[in-house]
Each structure stands twice: as C-alpha cells, then as structure tokens.
Amino acid sequence: MGLKKFSQVMIISVWSLVAFSVQAQSSGVVAKVNGVAIPQSRLELMVKANVAQGQQDGPEMRKALRENLIAEEILAQEATKKRLDQDPEVIAQLEIARQAVLVRAFQADYIKNNQVSDDTLRKEYDVLKVQMGDKEYKARHILVENENEARDIIASLKKGGNFAKIAEEKSIDDGSKENGGELNWSPPAAYVRPFSEALVKLSKGGMTEQPVQTSFGWHVIQLMDIRPMEVPPFEEVKQNIQQRVLQREFATVVQDLRSKAKVE
C-alpha cells in the first residue's frame, strides 16, 4: 500500500536522457567516425545528464563515454547501411523518442519561466500542515482480495488469532506482510480516504470490526499507537513543495492545451 510523507511529494521529471558523454579532441568535434563528426555539443549534453544522476565529471568518465559514443555511431551507421532506418517500426520508435525529448524540453521551459513565489509556497505549506494534522499513527493491516476472507480473518482475530502471523500468511501487501502487516508512522492523510477514516476512529490497540474497502482490496486494520507529528520546517521542504505546485500548474496547462486541440 503506497504511503506518502509530508516531505516526500511527487517530483516533476524535467530532463532524463540516456547517459553517455565524450572527450573533446578538437574544437567543436569529439571524434569522426567514417567521416561523420560527433559534435562537442553532444558531449556537453550527456556529461550534464550524467552529473545530474550523481556521477562525477572527469577524464576517466569522459574517456569511457567517448568510446560509447563512437561505438554507437558505428552501429548506427551499420543499421543505416542495412536500411533499418526505413523500417516502419524503427521510424515509429524514432518519432516516439523525438516526442519524448520535446515534451521534456517543454516541461523544462515551463519550469524555467514559471517560478513560484515564496508567498505561494508558504500558503501551500500551511495547507499541507492542516491536511496532515498534528498526529501520526502507527498501524498494521491485513490486505486481502475479497470481503468474505477479510470477515473470516476478523473472526479469527477475535478468537485470539495472531495478527502478525495471519498477515504474513494471507496479506497481499508485499510491502508490509513480512513485517506482520506493520506500516510506517504516518499521518492519516498519507492513506487513501476509507483507510484513514477507519484508522482515526480506532482507539489504541483497537481493530476494525468490519472490513475496510479501498482500491487496493479489503483491509483489516489495527491501531498500534499514536504520537504527536513533527512537521519538517518550511525551508527543509520548500523545494519539494515548489515541485508539487509546479506539477499541479503544469497539469492545468496540459488540460488547457488538450481542450483547445482539434482531435478527430
């Protein structure tokens, strides 16, 4: 079952490309393969992509990636000789790749030209604090596919069945079953609504009397503990909040463009 912490919001993917780079051999050209120049600009773009993924720029990396570039150019030339570039499926794949790059470029351009003010970010932060509440809950659950099985489990637990053991044997939540169904400390808003609504009604040690249905299946929920929630300070989550706001605003832009597009 997916859980989201306050500081763990979805991040907009801006520019993720296949990583390869090269070392310059002369001004503007990395290497020539059968007379075809590999441009320096390709080197710089791919070095940037590698560094963004946590790799350190340096001679060894550039040398290795230069060899990759050369090998890929050789193979691309051979593919062209065999007229594979004329294959309908290859043409379609190239067009898909082209569109993907353009979409990422559009996203990057939008983010560059639509920075979010601190005032907006603080308002979003305040809204999130209210949504998250002031308590965290430690729960465990058993997730099954149908209501009857969930009811049988509740009956078994009421007769003294071991919650952790049943979770390990029957729960379909791979993320928690091996831990006896235990979930991380989380505010109610981190869960889907039916789950959170059932959770906050429980007393410490209490268990749901009826199965709780969500899009994941049917849950048997037990509240293990409650504690005050420590909300991270604004500066610590500011960047994530900005990404959250931009993602929402960008989705609105996409919807607007879709409404204006002529689709037949």
Q: Are strands 135-144 and 217-228 parallel, antiparallel or unpaired?
A: antiparallel
pLDDT score at 195? 98
Res 197 pLDDT > 90: yes
Whether 1 shows a pLDDT value over 50: the answer reads: no
Q: How far apart are the first and last CA of the chain?
A: 39
In three-state secondary structure terms, 14 is coil
Collapsed DSSP state (helix, strand, coil) of residue 37: strand
pLDDT tens, position by position, 78-117:
999 999 999 999 999 999 999 999 999 999 999 999 989 9
Contacts of 222 (CB under 8 A, 6+ apart): 139, 140, 141, 163, 181, 202, 205, 206, 207, 208
pLDDT digits (tens, 9 = 90+) for 115-127: 899 999 999 999 9
Q: How confident is the model at residue 27 (pLDDT cuts 50, 70, 90)?
A: low
In the block, tokens 């004329």 appear at 86
Q: Which stretch, 8-12, 78-82, 132-136, has highest mean pLDDT?
A: 78-82
- The phi, psi pair for 218, rounded to 5°, reads -115, 130
As a whole number of Å, the CA-based R_g of the chain is 26
Domain positions in the chain are: 15-82, 135-228
Between residues 60 and 245, which one has the greater pLDDT?
245
pTM score, two decimals? 0.60
Average pLDDT of the residues in 231-258: 93
- For tokens 């009857």, what's the residue? 148
CA dihedral 223, 225, 227, 229 (to 10 degrees): -50
Parallel, antiparallel, or unpaired: how do β-strands 212-214 and 135-144 relate?
unpaired
Beta bridge partners of residue 176, listed in sequence order: none
Percent of the chain's residues with pLDDT above 90: 73
**Residue 12 amino acid letter:** I
Q: What span, in angstroms and rounded, lies between the C-alpha atoms of 55 and 137?
A: 38
- Predicted confidence band of residue 231 (pLDDT cuts 50, 70, 90): confident
Find the mean pLDDT for residues 223-242. 93
Tokens 């230069």 belong to 66
Percentage, residues of the chain above pLDDT 70: 90
The pLDDT score that the predictor gives to residue 13 is 33
pLDDT at 230: 87
Q: Are 45 and 83 in contact (CB under 8 A)?
A: no
CATH number of 135-228: 3.10.50.40
Residue-averaged pLDDT of the chain: 88
